[in-house]
Amino acid sequence: MKYMVQMTVNPPKDMDPQEWQEILRREKEYGQAFMKNGKFQHIWRIVGEFANVSIFDVESNDELHTILAGFPLFPYMDMNVTALAKHPSALN
Amino acid sequence: MKYMVQMTVNPPKDMDPQEWQEILRREKEYGQAFMKNGKFQHIWRIVGEFANVSIFDVESNDELHTILAGFPLFPYMDMNVTALAKHPSALN
Amino acid sequence: MKYMVQMTVNPPKDMDPQEWQEILRREKEYGQAFMKNGKFQHIWRIVGEFANVSIFDVESNDELHTILAGFPLFPYMDMNVTALAKHPSALN
Amino acid sequence: MKYMVQMTVNPPKDMDPQEWQEILRREKEYGQAFMKNGKFQHIWRIVGEFANVSIFDVESNDELHTILAGFPLFPYMDMNVTALAKHPSALN
Amino acid sequence: MKYMVQMTVNPPKDMDPQEWQEILRREKEYGQAFMKNGKFQHIWRIVGEFANVSIFDVESNDELHTILAGFPLFPYMDMNVTALAKHPSALN
Amino acid sequence: MKYMVQMTVNPPKDMDPQEWQEILRREKEYGQAFMKNGKFQHIWRIVGEFANVSIFDVESNDELHTILAGFPLFPYMDMNVTALAKHPSALN
Amino acid sequence: MKYMVQMTVNPPKDMDPQEWQEILRREKEYGQAFMKNGKFQHIWRIVGEFANVSIFDVESNDELHTILAGFPLFPYMDMNVTALAKHPSALN
Amino acid sequence: MKYMVQMTVNPPKDMDPQEWQEILRREKEYGQAFMKNGKFQHIWRIVGEFANVSIFDVESNDELHTILAGFPLFPYMDMNVTALAKHPSALN
Amino acid sequence: MKYMVQMTVNPPKDMDPQEWQEILRREKEYGQAFMKNGKFQHIWRIVGEFANVSIFDVESNDELHTILAGFPLFPYMDMNVTALAKHPSALN
Amino acid sequence: MKYMVQMTVNPPKDMDPQEWQEILRREKEYGQAFMKNGKFQHIWRIVGEFANVSIFDVESNDELHTILAGFPLFPYMDMNVTALAKHPSALN
């Protein structure tokens, strides 16, 4: 079941740069674990923004929320979720 | 080069239903030609709306505009284009 | 799996009133079939508007879109879908 | 008398984490008291957000405001209230 | 129980002027019936707009919706309802 | 001459609670002075918000601004002013 | 007492061009009568739009609404009124 | 003196296609006259939209409005004008 | 050449009150210098807001930006500039 | 391949002024390097704002993002990117 998630990062103004780098490192590791198991299918950078467009493929709304809320950057991101369905023009 | 295009269809109020069905048939045919040659990579229905989220992979802004303006539904759609770049967390 | 759907009706300006009443009758019949089988759990009128807040409980995004797109009023409604998850404060 | 309340939490940037956990604990306790007496009928998490959709069933606007303003998180939430009425398509 | 209702009139483009005048006459008659029984407490014109700010005092959300949906201009108005509570600074 | 004023309070994040209580006490005293002399005719709490809908009856735009800018909470409020005129459907 | 009024014209799609020219002629005549008596102090075209920024100097909200609602173009304009007060930096 | 003008075309729903083509032909001719004399310096298509971003270099606000209002498509376009000044980082 | 400028002041949260008063004093002095030489023709307070509507009459976009960016409050204001042209209904 | 980028600067509230001046100096140097190699073709100040309209000519979305994310002011700017195509009315 597919969802588009648009994520915008709002970096905290006063965090220690090393702590921030550590959060970014864990963010990447956390995200890639779900890319490898097929649940986080695509991520693209929005040009000119600290933001991305992501596509998830999960079993349920609850599973998606659990994954999203677990991102190390979750407290520093605005997320917007769009539920997607199969399109009649899609191949296969 | 990737782009997200969000398309919303505004069906004309007074078109002959058969003419409309014919436009929809040509729309599907036109879109699938680009799906088959790899330029129109994904299309998903937005749940509850006569709208979709699409991903294109083309050579240039001009090529994308030419493809989009050629859709039989182009005069009946609002389109919103977002330029996408590679994300540093993406695999490979 | 729960979803909130906000629906706003935009009645066509020039439809025959009897045809409109017939669509409304079929709308009610269609909606109540899903209320009876438990998929359409709640519907409330938004005070002062020709609009409602609805709660659906379905198996997937695709099932929800199929139900929503089947409403006789679908061509005359704006729909806005919000995917819902279990809240940690909810009782059981 | 039903109301939909959409609540979005804006956690304070600089609160002591233990103090914040204590507020969240009291929030849950406060909310569940009204769930148990039937006034707070539903709460769902909005997927991907620190936000919820809630349904209240109370005697008056004043009672609703008193309940909402008493939430321990009230100073840290944006709330949006929609007055609801019975829908003619609802069963019973 | 008080509510503010903001109403904006969108006159139909092609109605017979006499029919429109008749609807306006019935609108005034309908509204004044509720002014006389105390349920429609205030109405003010918004300067420069075919719109008003109104204050209602009714028993329930359902009663308010029934009154509002009964206005002869209801199909030609956008309405926005705000539930109001007693303010702690108000004089008795 | 009537005006609707919508006021939303944005409490400062770091003010001493006693100082804030003192400002709220003076706010109430200041407002009630104008309620007593008839210039501040109504105030209602917007349910679920630290906000109100107020109706003023003053001699001029300048008098209204002088009153509004004198509120002790003025630096902590967003205000939105709507000029009102007599409505042709009003009684008397 | 000053007010800024922003007016945007929405020409009707199907009016006879001569009838439209006649409305525009009466609009100019009506406006200039109030310019000559000092109540309509300024009018400027917004560059690129069929819209203007106007400044009125009248005795009351009611007088302003009466003037605005009397414009021959009133049914074809969106108006937005801002109440103005003397600014402390103004000369004299 | 530079201005950015964003223009969006809203084609009329019921115009004769040949009349529309003739307006488009005159639009191009009119625009190119100002491109040739240096007043209309750039025009780019916004990808996916019947819209453009244009840069004008004219002597005054009045001259710009005269040029813009003279476009054959003016009655069918939304225009948004942004006044531009020299940027301190620009070369020369 | 006329421009409307809407200015909204966002006072800094933590500035020394005397320093702020000194900036306000210089703001007034700076503004009045341009009022006296005819470039800053009108300023009105927006009722209920720490904001104004101003009319400037200058030679060019560059001159306007230089004047606006020189205001002592410039770093604490949101400005919105509208280019104005002569209106065909204006007298003279 | 052309893109319009609208950039708005949000200066940090508490940065050392000398550090800020150094960032601005590097910003200018960085930008001018791309102006000199032809990738950053135009920059104009938006009158009254700490913002600009810029035109880039690059090979790909990825190249544009790399350039934009490298601006020393990138963490202090909101950027909005519009993909541009050749317009059929453009000369040559």
Question: Which residue's structure tokens are 């809407």?
Answer: I6
Residues in chain C with CB shorter than 8 Å from the CB of D91 are: 32, 35-36
Residues in chain J with CB shorter than 8 Å from the CB of H4 are: 44, 53
β-sheet bridge partners, residue A5: A54, A81
Question: What percent of chain D has a predicted confidence (pLDDT) above 70?
Answer: 100
Please give the pLDDT value at position H92. 75
Please give the pLDDT value at position H13. 85
Number of domains chain C is built from: 1
* Cα atoms in the Cβ-side hemisphere of radius 13 Å centred on D82: 21
β-sheet bridge partners, residue J6: J53, J80
Q: Per-residue confidence of chain G (92 residues) as pLDDT tens digits?
A: 999 999 999 999 889 999 999 999 999 999 999 999 999 999 999 999 999 999 999 999 999 999 999 999 999 999 999 999 999 999 97
Least confident of B25-34, E24-33, F7-16: F7-16
Q: pLDDT-based confidence at D92, cuts 50/70/90?
A: confident
Q: Specify whether the CB–CB gap between J85 and B61 falls below 8 A.
A: yes
| Euclidean distance between CA atoms G65 and E49, whole angstroms | 8
Residue count of chain J: 92
Interval F3-60: pLDDT, tens: 999 999 999 988 999 999 999 999 999 999 999 999 999 999 999 999 999 999 999 9
Q: Where are the beta strands (DSSP E) in chain H?
A: 2-9, 40-46, 51-57, 77-86
* Cα atoms in the Cβ-side hemisphere of radius 13 Å centred on C63: 12
Interval E31-88: pLDDT, tens: 999 999 999 999 999 999 999 999 999 999 999 999 999 999 999 999 999 999 999 9
| Euclidean distance between CA atoms D58 and D81, whole angstroms | 13
Q: Where are the beta strands (DSSP E) in B1-92?
A: 2-9, 40-46, 51-57, 77-86
**Count helices and strands in chain E by DSSP H and E runs:** 2, 4
Cβ–Cβ below 8 Å for H84 and I64? no
Cβ–Cβ below 8 Å for F48 and D61? no
Answer whether residue D92 is part of any domain.
no
Cβ–Cβ below 8 Å for I81 and H83? yes
The 3-class SS string of A38-54 reads: CCEEEEEEECCCCEEEE
Q: pLDDT-based confidence at D16, cuts 50/70/90?
A: very high
| Euclidean distance between CA atoms H57 and H59, whole angstroms | 7
Question: What percent of chain C has a predicted confidence (pLDDT) above 90?
Answer: 97
Answer whether residue B52 is part of any domain.
yes
Name the phi and psi angles at A36, rounded to 5: -70, -35
Q: What share of chain E is helix, strand, coil (3-state, %, to 5)?
A: 35, 35, 30
Q: Which of helix, strand or coil describes residue B10?
A: coil
Answer whether residue H76 is part of any domain.
yes
Q: Which of helix, strand or coil describes residue G52?
A: strand
Q: Nearest to residue A53, comparing CAs of B46, J66, B82, J64? A: B82
Q: Where are the beta strands (DSSP E) in E23-76?
A: 40-46, 51-57
Cβ–Cβ below 8 Å for D62 and E1? yes
Answer whether residue C33 is part of any domain.
no
| Euclidean distance between CA atoms H50 and G79, whole angstroms | 28
Answer whether residue J45 is part of any domain.
yes
Is B47 within 8 Å of chain C by CB? Answer: yes
Cβ–Cβ below 8 Å for D62 and E83? no
Question: What does the angle CA F67 – CA I8 – CA I16 come to, to the nearest 5 degrees?
Answer: 80
Is J13 within 8 Å of chain I by CB? Answer: yes
Q: Are strands F40-46 and F2-9 parallel, antiparallel or unpaired?
A: unpaired
Q: Are strands A2-9 and A51-57 parallel, antiparallel or unpaired?
A: antiparallel
Name the phi and psi angles at D9, rounded to 5: -90, 130
Domain that holds residue H15: 2-52+64-81
Q: Specify whether the CB–CB gap between H48 and B64 falls below 8 A.
A: yes
β-sheet bridge partners, residue H78: H8
Whichever domain contains E26, its CATH number is: 3.30.70.1060
Q: What is the mean pLDDT of chain J?
A: 97
Q: Which residue of A has its CA nearest to J13?
A: A13
Answer whether residue H87 is part of any domain.
no
Is D11 within 8 Å of chain F by CB? Answer: no
Name the phi and psi angles at H30, rounded to 5: -65, -45
Question: Which residue's structure tokens are 């409403």?
Answer: C71
Q: Nearest to residue F65, comparing CAs of F41, F43, F83? A: F83
β-sheet bridge partners, residue I3: I56, I83
Cβ–Cβ below 8 Å for I75 and J47? no
| Euclidean distance between CA atoms A68 and A85, whole angstroms | 20
Q: Nearest to residue E48, comparing CAs of G68, G53, G71, G9? A: G68
Question: What percent of chain H has a predicted confidence (pLDDT) above 70?
Answer: 100
Please give the pLDDT value at position A14. 84
Is E32 within 8 Å of chain F by CB? Answer: yes
Q: Specify whether the CB–CB gap between E60 and D60 falls below 8 A.
A: no
* Cα atoms in the Cβ-side hemisphere of radius 13 Å centred on B19: 6
Answer whether residue J73 is part of any domain.
yes
B1: nearest CB among J2, J3, J61: J61
ipTM of predicted assembly, 2 dp: 0.96
**Beta carbon pairs, A and C, within 8 Å:** 33
Question: Which residue's structure tokens are 């509004």?
Answer: F68
Question: Which residue's structure tokens are 């629906």?
Answer: C7
Name the phi and psi angles at C45, rounded to 5: -75, 135
Q: Nearest to residue B30, comparing CAs of B67, B58, B85? A: B67
